A and B are shown apart, each in its own frame.
Chain A
Amino acid sequence: MNGVERYERSRSLFERAAKVIPGGIYGSKAPGFLVPGAYPYYIESTKGCRMRDADGNEYIDYLCGYGSQIVGYGNERVDGPALERASRGDLLDQPAPVMVDLAERLVASVEGSSWAVFMKNGTDSTTLAYSLARVRTEKPMAIMAAGAYHGAANWCGANPFAALASDREGVLSFRYNDLGGLERLFAENRGRIACLFLTPYHHPTFKPQELPDPALYETARRLCDAEGALLVMDDIRGNFRLHSRGSHVRFGAKPDLWCMGKALANGYPISALLGAEGTRATANSFFITGTYWMSAVPMVAAMATMDEMERLGGVPRLESLGLLLKEGLESAGRESGFGARISGPPAIPFLTFDEDPDLYLNQRFGAAMARRGVFLHPHHNWFISLAHGEDDIAETVSRAREAFAAMRAGRE
């Protein structure tokens, strides 16, 4: 079956969508970010680590709702309490008691934090962190690594064409792990730096992932302290996949603010900003609000997700599954003569080919795997969930072996 037949309903929906929705599907889920024609555009249903697209094709999913699924789609231990809460009301005049429970639990879990506020998306959290840091320090600028993603707002978004230059005047960037470059940036802008944004490790799109230099966080802390700037850990993509007490613990970082989201509630819409004690007074002075930011259902789901992560084995289990996938895929690639390499931490892997920095092979491999019922993003890092099992990984590696062989033979 060719792509036209396999994804006929997806295409038909997309044709309708493009007439009434800018871009048809916008942002990171746009067809152009995948391999148009070789992937489904619409997903109909999911369960565990499996999903079915609008045309009825089934996949083992390694995007996990861009990381938001950590204990599996349709997990009854999360959905049950969430639906029960929904039956009693979600968005209320005042917060539900669970908000206090969740804040206490996060503060107790995330090492170094002493307060938490809640919102909906990662961008809400990073944007609030940026504002808070500027007010706290009375300085205008932020530093971030080039290519790092800290949200879709114009001050930090990945698309420079949709922003005015003035939107980004307050943001400077350095090459990730270039400690000398970071030192210079602080020195050249002394007295003007409000904060340094870092993701726990570097996960740019279209490129291999990069773990932090062993001296990065010590350097970052020293520079921030000398400048009086805040160190912001954007843990939105990594949270609970790298360390149960916050990804910073894995790498020895000591942030002032933490942005969390995605896996926090297994797909229910909630993100959070956590802060160290020294930032509490500034947070107290802020008018922090959004119509849906205190809705109760996602908070209940977050509590249940944290319970379920512990029950299913948490980070150690994710790591062992990720290592299995890494070893299997790299080995399958080598068998067909490809330099397939997995980068990043085991629970958030990404595959690239040593011989192809332009990613043609990523696109061919991704398309070949989609045809074989495995959803692997060609340009964005993947995610392992606790709903994946050894049998799913084995099935994935088996299909990868077929795909690599077909690519080597020129059939894919």
Chain B
Amino acid sequence: MEKHVDRLSKGEAATLAGIRLATTAHLVAIAAEADPALRAMAPKRPFALVLSAPGLPSVGVSARGGRFRAWSRSSADRGGRGWPSIILRFTSRGSAARALGGGKGMPLPLPLGLGAPAALAFFRAAASRVPAILKDGAADPPLKARLLTEAALRGLAEVAALDEGLEERLAHVPDGSVAVEAGEAFSIGLRKTGRRIEVLDAAPTSPNARLKFRDADAAVAVFSGARPAVLALGSGEVAISGLLPLIQGLFAVLDRLGEYMAVRAGERLE
């Protein structure tokens, strides 16, 4: 795959846009839930901010009663999104991939209510806070682990749905649910049905397979790419059990996600 967003094929750009839209929305919601400084910045009145790009399902983040939530195609719960306060509309999938990857480009803001300016200001602050948390060596490991795991699972769902090259291959991966756990830090889950992957807020009670990180640090190391998954597995920092073809198949999709995440959006050097 090309390493710069401007050189991707249309299909690749669409997939990358889907990944960045979904991960941005979900990571903003998680960071806002966990970070007191961000919570303090949040508008007092409920809001819902929607991100959209042509040909892709919209994603969004909302706040109500001090709770933040996001939605995308991988959300298991499809209700309670509220009327949008503002829509940020990208003119193309390429511009979404570029702008949300730190490159040039701005979405067109469509305010739909009085809370639009405050929602937009909060979203901008939160969206820039997420990478800062991930880069901060002193940041809380459970929060970093949660953010990175969320990015991996939401990205996984987008790649599985959008990358046409994976359609035939995903047909060989059995359907089922996976519990993803990081020590005592958190446990969430996912459910694969065909090409659709739903991310679950809690680990399923009877998952078909389990992916268990020894602790939050192990999850950070693997999902940040600092520790190869195969090494973490071999040394016991990560354990897999149950229906292994399900996890192993999803790991192969994660490898493909890694290629997308390596695509740069900034100025081209060549």
- The docked-state distance in angstroms from the alpha carbon of A371 to that of B138 is 40
* In the assembled complex, A4 has its CB within 8 A of some CB on chain B: yes
Tell me if A360 and B234 are in contact (CB < 8 A).
Answer: no
Contact of A36 among B228, B236, B245 (CB under 8 A): B236
Given the known inter-chain contacts A23-B230, A32-B230, A161-B252, please indicate yes or no for A15 contacting B235, CB distance below 8 A. Answer: yes
Most buried by A among B209, B228, B234, B235: B234
A15: B residues at CB distance < 8 A: 231, 234-235
Q: Does B9 contact A (CB under 8 A)?
A: no
B243 contacts A359, C-beta separation under 8 Å: yes
Pair A32/B248 contact, Cβ less than 8 Å:
yes
- In the complex, B208 has a CB within 8 A of chain A: yes
Residue of B209, B228, B234, B235 near A358 (CB, 8 A) is B209
A37 at the interface (CB under 8 A from B): yes
B88 within 8 A of A: no
B245 touches A11 (CB 8 A): no
Question: Known: A3-B236, A24-B234, A31-B234. Contact between A165 and B168, CB under 8 A?
Answer: yes
B239 contacts A32, CB within 8 Å? no
Write the B227-247 contact mask toward A (1 if CB under 8 angstroms, else 0).
Answer: 010110111101111111100
Instruction: Give min CB distance, B141 to chain A, whole Å.
Output: 21
What's the minimum C-beta distance from A13 to chain B, rounded to whole angstroms?
A: 10
Interface residues of A in 352-380 (CB under 8 A from B): 357-360, 363, 379
Task: Please measure, in the bound complex, the distance between the C-alpha atom of A45 and the C-alpha atom of B173, giving whole angstroms.
Answer: 37
Does A18 interact with chain B (Cβ within 8 Å)? yes
Q: Is B169 an interface residue (CB 8 A)?
A: yes
What is the minimal beta-carbon distance from B242 to any residue of chain A, in angstroms?
Answer: 4
Count of chain B residues near A, Cβ 8 A: 25
A37 and B231 contact, Cβ closer than 8 Å, known pairs A206-B245, A359-B242: no
In angstroms, Cα B195 to Cα A142, docked, is 27
Establish whether residues A160 and B172, one from each chain, have CB atoms under 8 Å apart when the complex forms: yes
CA distance A206 to B236 in the complex (A): 22
B244 touches which of A23, A159, A161, A379 (Cβ 8 Å): A379
Residue of A nearest to B235 (CB): A11
Which residues does chain B contribute within 8 Å of A32, judged by CB atoms? 230, 233-234, 240, 244, 248
Per the bound structure, the CA–CA distance linking A32 and B244 in Å amounts to 8
- For the complex, what is the distance from the CA of A366 to the CA of B168, rounded to whole Å? 33
Does A174 count as interface, using CB distance less than 8 angstroms? no
CB distance from A363 to the nearest CB of B (A): 5
- CB-CB contacts of B155-186 with A at 8 A, as 1s and 0s? 00000000000001100100010000000000
A66 located at the interface, meaning its Cβ lies under 8 Å from any Cβ of chain B in the complex: no
| A24-B235 Cα distance, complex, nearest whole Å | 11
Residues of B within 8 A of A35 (CB): 241
Task: Give the complex CA separation of A31 and B235 in angstroms.
Answer: 9
Question: What's the least CB distance linking A24 to chain B, in Å?
Answer: 6
Q: Which residues of A contact B238 (CB under 8 A)?
A: 36
Closest CB in chain A relative to B166 CB, distance in Å: 8
Q: Nearest residue in A to B210 (C-beta to C-beta)? A: A360
Given A18-B228, A24-B231, A37-B236 contact (CB < 8 Å) = yes
Chain B residue numbers with a CB within 8 Å of A30 are 230
Instruction: Establish whether residues A14 and B234, one from each chain, have CB atoms under 8 Å apart when the complex forms.
Output: yes
Q: How far is the CB of B241 from chain A (nearest CB, A)?
A: 5
Give bound CA distance, A30 to B244, whole Å.
13
A11 nearest CB across to chain B (Å): 6
Considering only residues 39-64 of chain A, those with a C-beta below 8 Å from chain B are 41
Chain A residues closer than 8 Å to B172, beta-carbon distance: 160
Question: Chain A residues near B233 (CB, 8 Å)?
Answer: 31-32, 36
Q: How far is A160 from B168 in the complex, measured between Cα atoms in Å?
A: 8
Per the bound structure, the CA–CA distance linking A307 and B155 in Å amounts to 58
How far is B230's CA from A160's CA once the two chains are assembled, in angstroms? 19
- A37 with B169: CB separation less than 8 A: no
Q: How far is A41 from B233 in the complex, measured between Cα atoms in Å?
A: 12
What are the residues of chain A within 8 A of B168 when measuring CB–CB?
160, 165
Contacting B at CB under 8 A, from A2-43, are: 3-4, 11, 14-15, 18, 23-24, 30-33, 35-37, 41
B236's nearest neighbour on chain A, judged by CB, is A37
In the complex, which residue of chain A has the Cβ closest to the Cβ of B240? A32
Closest residue of B by beta carbon distance from A31 = B234
Q: Which residues of B contact A14 (CB under 8 A)?
A: 231, 234-235
Contact between A206 and B244, CB atoms less than 8 A apart: yes
Q: Kindly state the separation between the CA atoms of A359 and B174 in the bound complex, as whole angstroms.
A: 14
Contact residues in B for A23 (Cβ distance below 8 Å): 230
A18 touches B239 (CB 8 A): no
Which residues does chain A contribute within 8 Å of B169, judged by CB atoms?
160-161
Q: Collect the chain A residues with CB atoms within 8 Å of residue B241's CB.
A: 35, 360, 363
Assembled-state Cα–Cα distance A254/B169 (Å): 34
Tell whether, in the assembled complex, residue A24 and residue B230 are in contact, meaning their CB atoms are under 8 Å apart. yes
Chain B 93-104 near chain A by CB (<8 Å), digits 1 or 0: 000000000000
A4/B236 in contact, CB under 8 A: yes
User: A4 — which chain B residues lie within 8 A by C-beta?
Assistant: 236
Query: Is there contact, CB below 8 Å, between A36 and B234?
Result: yes
Note all chain A residues with C-beta closer than 8 A to B235. 11, 14-15, 37
Q: How far is the CA of A107 from the CA of B136 in the complex (A)?
A: 70
For B209, what are the chain A residues with a Cβ–Cβ distance below 8 Å? 358
Give the chain B neighbours of A3 by CB distance below 8 A: 236
B234 touching A18 by the CB < 8 A rule? Answer: yes
Complex Cα spacing A18 to B169, Å: 26
Not counting A4-B236, A24-B230, A32-B244, a sample of 6 additional A-B residue pairs whose C-beta atoms are within 8 angstroms of each other reads A24-B234, A31-B234, A206-B243, A206-B244, A359-B242, A379-B244
Q: Chain B: residues with CB nearer than 8 A to chain A? A: 168-169, 172, 176, 208-209, 228, 230-231, 233-236, 238-245, 248-249, 252, 255
Q: Which 5 A-B pairs have the closest CB atoms?
A: A161-B252, A37-B236, A160-B172, A358-B242, A160-B169
Residues of chain A at the chain B interface (Cβ within 8 Å): 3-4, 11, 14-15, 18, 23-24, 30-33, 35-37, 41, 159-161, 165, 206, 357-360, 363, 379
A–B complex contacts, Cβ < 8 Å, 20 sampled:
A4-B236, A11-B234, A11-B236, A14-B231, A24-B230, A31-B233, A32-B230, A32-B244, A33-B244, A36-B233, A36-B236, A37-B235, A41-B234, A161-B249, A161-B252, A161-B255, A165-B168, A358-B243, A360-B241, A360-B242
